[in-house]
A and B are shown apart, each in its own frame.
Chain A
Amino acid sequence: MCGIVGIYLKKKNLHQKLGNYLSGMLDNMSSRGPDSAGFAIYNKNNSSRTYKYSVCCPSDFDIKKFEISVGNEFKDILIKSVSDHLVISTKTSPKLFLSFLGNNYKELKIIGYGKSIEIFKQVGNPKEIVKKFKLNKLQGSHAIGHTRMATESAITLDGSHPYSTGEDECLVHNGSLSNHNNLRRKLIKKGKKFDSFNDTEVAAGYISNQLSETKSMKKTLTKCLSNLDGFYTFIAGTKNGFAVLRDEIACKPAVIAETKDYVAVASEFQAMAHLPDVNKAKIYEPEPGVVYTWGN
């Protein structure tokens, strides 16, 4: 099953409410996915040169020691620690910093990076995960989230959404793909790396790869229609907004609510029943095989 949610705020003065809105949406989607949950929050940095790296630490990881030694290596480093996740801010380029982490801290799981994105995900009930990562207090311009009912792979962090396979990019998926093994092999040949055997990670990799070629979310998702085989409703996040696509058979649900203040997307209406003025919103189902984008 799985539940997917997304919210894009049209007005800056609402940015402080983003976490609050999204936590309610994830909460309400626990019924569709009780196994794990995750979310990506987009909150632009003050400095346009600073990157944020979202990582998950093992339970016995010494965060204090890590802070000191990384601080010695990179002087501008700032570390935000929430539960078992760290968001590390530095101006160091991804190429340098990711290889530094990969070489020196193999036990850390890098789940995403970019100038805007912060990702948190973990196994467990969405209600608890929302509390654990204090989502309620997080701010930003847009966010996407996922509650998982595991089908294609095990209930692990590796199997949890969102999947980020490029700078400030991420994907959540309701459905299952049938040609992901073949596509994974093709993408590996093109130099993409994958951490799991999950079908959604392949779709995320495919989208990142296409985005780097076409530079257009609309074109990229249109290509998904001919190259991804299976069932899906996708919400794909980028630095400036997100996009929604349902496969042409459209077995997997989605509903969009749009007001002057926000655009909300979810698997079911009940995920957004708590949003302000939702009863006055323009509510519709995205058409099968049609790409919808906001802010891109």
Chain B
Amino acid sequence: MGKLENLDFKKNSLRNINNFLQNIDFKKNLREFVIRNPSGNHAICAGLKEDISVNIKGHVGYYCGGMNQNANITIEGNAGTGLGENMMSGLIHVKGNVSQSAGATAHGGTIIVDGNASSRCGISMKGVDIIIKGSVGHMSAFMAQSGTLLICGDAGEALGDSIYETVIYIAGTPKSLGADCVEKKITKKDLIKIDELLNIGKIKKIKSSKFKKYGSARKLYNFKIDNVSEY
């Protein structure tokens, strides 16, 4: 434990590897790390706090980069359920596909997925920016509260169901929209935001003018002031 060369799941345990990355000794001036043989293990790089870069060489399991603050995590493979769950800041870049609930409840930072995301991408997101270069599955941005979900491909059923203030930009087509999710007019401000996200994701193939915008119609029960008197 405590040695750079031991960030290998064939040689060391998850707990030791995470412990090392969560408690970096900056006197040694280390900022960049490589994790080998992740073999689909869960909770890799969960709870990182510092401004470091971690490159994971392979597929990861559930909750990779969960609760991340400041760290820049790259996954050279696929990621399982709950990637970057409750992330606060920093960047997670997945070069493959991600499973369900990517970026769930995440408060800040950026998630980039080069492939597709499964169902419930950005569920209850609270401020994160999520950039999906492929398509997303059903119930994506469910109850999403803040932040931006940019989708270059298509979306599954019930996109943005019961959405609050999150903004969805999509270049493809949603199979269907969830309750209270409607298409909105693209403004200049939107185009600037889309260009900013395309730039972060290094996406050149699609122009910002291709995107449509979806958000909350604010017509569900909790948006009606009359209902306040119920409490």
Contacts and interface: CB of A to CB of B under 8 A. Distances in A.
Contacts of B126: none
A253 B58 contact: no
B32 to A, nearest CB: 23
Contact of A253 (B39, B41, B96, B100): B100
B72 interface: no
Contacts of B137: 250, 288
Interface stretch (A68-76, A145-153, A165-173, A268-276): A268-276
A273 B99 contact: no
B86 interface: no
Contacts of A271: 40
A285 B97 contact: yes
A281 to B, nearest CB: 10
Contact of A269 (B78, B100, B118, B138): B78
Interface of A: 250, 253, 255, 268-274, 279, 283-285, 288
A26 to B, nearest CB: 15
B41 A270 contact: yes
Given A268-B40, A284-B97, A253 B59 contact: no
B80 interface: yes
Among all A-B residue pairs, the 7 with the closest Cβ atoms: A270-B40, A269-B40, A273-B39, A273-B40, A269-B59, A285-B118, A270-B61
A288 B138 contact: yes
Interface residues of B, number: 20
B53 interface: no
A279 B96 CA distance: 12
B105 interface: no
Contacts of B42: 270
A268 B138 contact: no
15 contacts: A250-B118, A250-B119, A250-B137, A253-B81, A253-B100, A269-B40, A269-B59, A269-B61, A269-B78, A269-B80, A270-B39, A270-B41, A279-B58, A279-B59, A285-B99
A73 B42 CA distance: 54
B119 A288 contact: yes
Nearest to B76: A279
A283 B96 CA distance: 9
Nearest to A273: B39
Nearest to B9: A273
Contacts of B62: 268
Contacts of B78: 269, 283
A85 B226 CA distance: 68
Given A253-B81, A270-B41, A288-B138, A283 B59 contact: yes
Interface in B29-52: 39-42
Nearest to A285: B118
B80 A268 contact: yes
Nearest to B139: A249
Interface in B60-105: 61-62, 77-78, 80-81, 96-97, 99-100
Nearest to B119: A250
A274 B58 CA distance: 13
Nearest to A248: B138
Given A250-B118, A250-B138, A273-B39, 12 more contacts: A250-B100, A250-B119, A255-B99, A269-B61, A270-B39, A270-B40, A270-B42, A279-B59, A279-B77, A283-B59, A285-B97, A288-B137
Nearest to B79: A269
Contacts of A273: 39-40, 59
Interface centre among A269, A272, A283, A288 (most CB of B within 10 A): A269
Contacts of A288: 119, 137-138
A279 B119 CA distance: 24
A57 to B, nearest CB: 37
A290 to B, nearest CB: 12
Contacts of A274: 39
A231 B153 CA distance: 28
Contacts of A250: 100, 118-119, 137-138
Contacts of B99: 253, 255, 285
A250 B41 CA distance: 21
A274 B138 CA distance: 31
Contacts of B138: 250, 288
Interface centre among B40, B42, B81, B96 (most CB of A within 10 A): B40
A288 to B, nearest CB: 7
